[in-house]
Structure 1
Amino acid sequence: MPSFPWPEFLASLPWTALAVAGVLAVTFAVALAQHRHSVMDVAWGPGFVAVAGVSWLLSAGTGDDGRRLLLLVLTAVWGLRLGAHIGWRARDGHEDPRYQAMLSTAPRSRNVFALRRVYLPQGIVMLFVSLTVQVGMFETGALGWLALLGAALWVLGFLFETVGDWQLARFKKDPARRGTVLNTGLWRYTRHPNYFGDAAVWTGLFLIAADSWPGVLTILSPALMVWALAGKTGKPLTEQAMSNRPGYREYVESTSGFIPWAPKRR
């Protein structure tokens, strides 16, 4: 089993934390200028790209070049696409209703409250989830079959996320379908193709890292992402907001909640 360069990896952690802090600082400055803290959603994906980029630079000459490049490219493609998509979706410049509801409970300064409740928690989660990529960058073992399986799962997840977002955007642009439920395309097989895709992307990145020691130890990183998407902030909040829409109950009864599956016959 190839040895892992622990000193080099541990020395990189302050720099990846600084990268996250830099992304959060820029995002907070933009939020103050635009008077909306939902810009944090736009910075979520690019924040992971910044961590991957720093880890890639610091692992040069240490980690396996094939794995380093694969993790960098896959993280960058996912993060930049996600940031661009959310930025385009929020181009009207208005604060997201979820953020409005949360910030309305601020005891004093809304900006200080946002730092504690939005930026700091998301920065910590970003660092923890990205440990899969950070550790993988420093692994010295060559790519194996598990890494190839992870790359294939990443492709599947990226397709689900990208196509699902595209189908949802087209659906929302059609005035005739306003107030109805999207139940065609990928949305016929899962109520959340975008969230499932996100979960598959990070599970795939984990498999690429788990292909060599000690990547398997980072299993809690993708587990946190999957738990948040399927059980905490993704699926539950979306379904709560959709629960009163006509036809949604029937959609829930016939369509898989997360993992794509054939719809049930009614």
Structure 2
Amino acid sequence: MRRLWAMLPFALVGVALLLDPGTAGPAWSNLAVQAVLFTLAAAIPGYLTRHVSYVDVAWPWGLVGIGLVTVFTADQLNVVTVAIAVAYLAMGARMGLWSLVLTIKHGWWTPGSPKVELPRYQYQRRRWERQGFHSEAWSVQYEIWLQGLANASALAVPAFIVAADHQRPPAVWSLAALTLWAASYVLESVADRQKQRFAARGKRGTCDRGLWRYSRHPNYFFQWMQWNALVLLALPSLPARFHDTTPLVWVLLTLGLFLASWTLYATLTKHTGARPAEYYSLRKRPDYAQYQATTNMFFPGPVKTPQKDAE
């Protein structure tokens, strides 16, 4: 029941997308895309290997699917609709291409090779044990399809709300939101590159250079900010949905818009992001505890001075 309750908000938002006349077309197409993609790329291999890591392939390419569906199902293409579709394509392709690198590195689809579960999903198994979930097969499928449901519902809401607003011209608000998205996209890439360069130089210990000096997870923070930018971009299109659908559906679409931001925040800080990463970092890097004491976990901020024990 706990897991069903976790799925319920996404299911309700997904139904709202299907019931709203302005979003129904792309929502049905996206539902089909996500179902096929997650079945072939994650659910079937996950069932065969008992590994969740395949979801890291399905979910970013699912974002690419949302971007393509937005373009090809829109009744009218305007500048804002094209811009948000491009944002989904860019976010999805960036992470999706990296996921293909991981598939080669870990041999996820190489017959006979050992399948290596990513650490964050190894950590998930600790949660399953604490929560009393004993069926590994069911737990793997739950994790995969929860993400698939998110792709089919809340994560698609910003794009489909914007695409349904046929009369929306570019404006200062749209320009500001797109500028925030572009800056966050670049800064996430910069953070990843800084860490890669730190590792490539053969340095031991914790990367505390560049953006990593101000946040222990700047790449996660700026990924979250990209979604906040898309939510802001979609906000001016909400009133148009109120006039075209029922109040209940409109409320659920509004909920879905903010659920997109909350879902990424919870995922990146707790579910499969910062918390499992720090669990393993503390065990692998002797200096990580000091890094935790002086650097904010998620939101960038000034370096803190560690408090000394009282004599």
Counterpart of 1:220 in structure 2 is 259
- After superposition, the CA RMSD in angstroms is 2.8
* 2:120 maps to 1:114: no
TM-score under structure 2 length normalisation = 0.73
2:104 alignment partner, SS class: coil
Among candidates 135, 155, 165, match of residue 182 of structure 2: 155
CA distance in 2 between counterparts of 1:42 and 1:257 reads 26
Which of residues 294, 301, 309 is equivalent to 1:261? Answer: 301
Moved more, 204-213 or 31-40: 31-40
How many correspondences in the alignment?
A: 256
Percent identical: 24
Q: Which residue of 1 aligns with 2:281?
A: 242
SS of the residue corresponding to residue 85 of structure 2 reads helix
SS at match of 1:31: helix
Q: What is the SS of the residue equivalent to 2:185?
A: helix
Cα distance in 1 for partners of 2:104, 2:220 equals: 22
Question: Measured at CA, do residues 90 and 191 of structure 1 come closer, stay the same or move farther in structure 2, by a change above 3 Å?
Answer: farther
* Alpha-carbon distance in 1 for matches of 2:47, 2:143: 17
Shift of 1:14: 1.9
Match of 1:145 among 151, 166, 172: 172
1:197 Cα deviation after fit: 1.2
1:134 counterpart = 2:160: yes
Asked if 2 retains the 8 angstrom alpha-carbon contact of 1:203 and 1:222, the reply is: yes
2:69 counterpart residue number: 54
Report matched runs for 1:20-31 at 5 Å: 20-28=34-42, 31=45
Higher mean Cα deviation, 244-253 or 198-207?
A: 244-253
Residue equivalent to 1:43: 58
CA spacing shift, 1:240–1:171, aligned 2, 3 Å: same
**TM-score for the superposition, normalised by structure 1:** 0.84
Aligned counterpart, 2:292: 252
Q: Distance in 2 between the 1:50 and 1:18 partners?
A: 10
| Aligned partner letter, 1:207 | L
Q: Is the 8 A contact 2:177 2:229 kept in 1?
A: yes
Residue by residue over 1:97-153, the C-alpha shift from the partner in whole angstroms, topping out at 9 and shown as x without a partner, is 44356569785673x5522x2221111122222211221121122122221111111
In 2, Cα distance between equivalents of 1:233 and 1:32: 17
- 1:219 & 1:40 partners in 2: Cα distance? 23
Residue deviations 1:63-122 (CA, integer Å, cap 9, x gap): x51111101111101110111123324532233244356569785673x5522x222111
Q: Is the 8 A contact 2:161 2:237 kept in 1?
A: no
Q: 1:253 to 1:28 in 2, by over 3 A?
A: closer
Counterpart code for 1:138? A
**Alignment check: 8 A CA contact 2:121 2:272 kept:** no
Give the counterpart of 2:29 among 10, 15, 20: 15
In structure 1, the gaps of 5 or more residues are none
Counterpart CA distance in 1 for 2:267 and 2:119 is 19
Range with greater deviation from structure 2 (27-36 or 41-50): 27-36
* Cα 1:32/1:10, change in 2 over 3 Å: closer
Q: CA deviation at 1:265?
A: 4.4
